[in-house]
Structure 1
């Protein structure tokens, strides 16, 4: 039996990025945005919820202020918020609190799921909209769908696909409110996996690894992420693009030591050779 929902819905958004806010405003009265200001390249790449809210005259609350001085609302939508939501907030909205997670849950619970999917050589990722529980990314799944990861896709390409898919699923979720489907389905723990937050130091390249694994690391960390890197002559070199070369005869070359080949710096790995196509803000 479907539940009648009073319209328009009063919605609160929690998160620093803005790609889903147009859809939320289209389907509800978005009257509070819980966020902090982001700056630099991340602001341009992800969009700023703070700037969006200020432009559209939406009330802005700092996350600490919201957690301490919360108020009644119909629906809370979370995207990219890195902390657990306390029970008192989960129980606050009359309809529910949902999260937009960029993986096919229960796989890739945790932080930076798209980056991890590329690093791990996955051919598909996805987006899941789910209810929030007191544990990270474990609530009932409302809807989800997958996106492809092509061989030469970078994190920028995959993120753009995920945003488009997330907006589509978010519109679908709004239409499901009040129905049995909105309650979602329980996640199957047998297929669960969890990945921790990544830090800049995690981008250090290990040239003893296979060439394809190194290439995956590079494309998972292009701008505005900190980047895959190595040190050469005492200086940090951030790599934004590489090519895997077919077998070449350089038996005297040490793994991890750059050398010039046809005018391009090339580095031997455990199973092949990688050409450095693009370095970030530097040369060799």
Structure 2
């Protein structure tokens, strides 16, 4: 029986738990919710306690509480910390679901940056976690239209979460048969939280009325 862990927040992490729990020969062993959990999304901790009461729930939010080698599969779904090499190297399959296209939108707030840059195409990517920031080989991706003239960050975020759930449903049952493909470093751009002041009117969920088209 494979043991699996989910790290992250909100409805996407809950969906990852649900998908893993349905996999054959797999048990949802450990869940680590972000700490604190956001008030604007469902509580991962509450959902786990209700739906999977036998699953170990680590409320500290710290990946270091997960013993290296305990779980064969680890899924990061909007987890807010960088996972260290001690856990990466000891895990058979450790993956991340990133709400942006890779390698063009690595790092923080990819939805905000895509709208700020006037993109008409956004995406969600599932990739292997390595020592870099969203730089591991790609396992699956989906791309979809966005309309920066009318879309708010909230609109594209909600759309991204719907696509992310479908992508995890497709990728997780096939993990043993997917060959990861490297990202193209020549197109790589990484955004950091410290750069958020450059986002202008795309900093928040919505723009102010005076800036609306």
TM-score (norm 1): 0.64
1:228-261 CA-partner distances (Å, limit 9, x unpaired):
6xxxxxxxxxx256434xxxxxxxxxxxxxxxxx
- Corresponding residue number in structure 2 for 1:100: 97
Find out whether 1:173 has 2:171 as its counterpart: yes
Structure number having the greater strand percentage = 1
Structure 2 residue runs of 5 or longer lacking an equivalent are 22-26
Shift of 1:84: 2.1
The structural deviation recorded for 1:204 is: 8.6
Contact 1:38 1:48 in 2 (8 A): no
* Contact 1:19/1:47 (<8 A) preserved: no
Deviation at 1:105, TM superposition (A): 0.5
Given that residues 12 and 77 in structure 2 are in contact (C-alpha distance below 8 angstroms), is that contact kept between their aligned partners in structure 1? no
Contact 2:45/2:57, CA 8 A, preserved across alignment = yes
Q: How far apart, CA to CA, are the structure 2 residues paired with 1:36 and 1:204? A: 24
Which of 122, 126, 131 lines up with 1:129 in the alignment? Answer: 126
Q: How many residue pairs align between the two structures?
A: 203
* CA apart distance, 1:197: 1.2
Question: Within the alignment, does 1:88 sit opposite 2:81 as a pair?
Answer: no
For 2:24, the equivalent position in structure 1 comes to: none
**Is 1:48 aligned to residue 43 of structure 2?**
yes
Aligned to 2:18: 25
Q: Is the 8 A contact 2:7 2:13 kept in 1?
A: no
Q: 1:194 aligns with which of 167, 190, 193?
A: 190
Indicate whether 1:222 and 2:205 are aligned.
yes
Q: 1:86 to 1:240 in 2, by over 3 A?
A: farther
Tell me the alpha carbon deviations over residues 213-237 of structure 1, each in whole angstroms, 9 at most, x when there is no partner.
xxxx25x6226xxxx6xxxxxxxxx
TM-score by length of 2: 0.83
* RMSD, aligned CA: 2.4
Distance in 1, matches of 2:65 and 2:15, equals 27
Q: Is the 2:13–2:78 contact (alpha carbons within 8 Å) kept by the matching residues of 1?
A: no
List gaps (5 residues or longer) in structure 1: 1-5, 206-216, 229-238, 245-284
Q: Which of 124, 135, 159 matches 2:157?
A: 159
8 A contact 2:6–2:16 mirrored in 1: no
CA distance in 2, matches of 1:135, 1:128: 15
Bigger Rg, which one: 1
Looking at structure 2, the residues matched to 111 and 198 of structure 1 have their Cα atoms a distance apart, in angstroms, of 9
Which one has the bigger helix percentage? 2
Stretch moving more, 155-164 or 11-20: 11-20
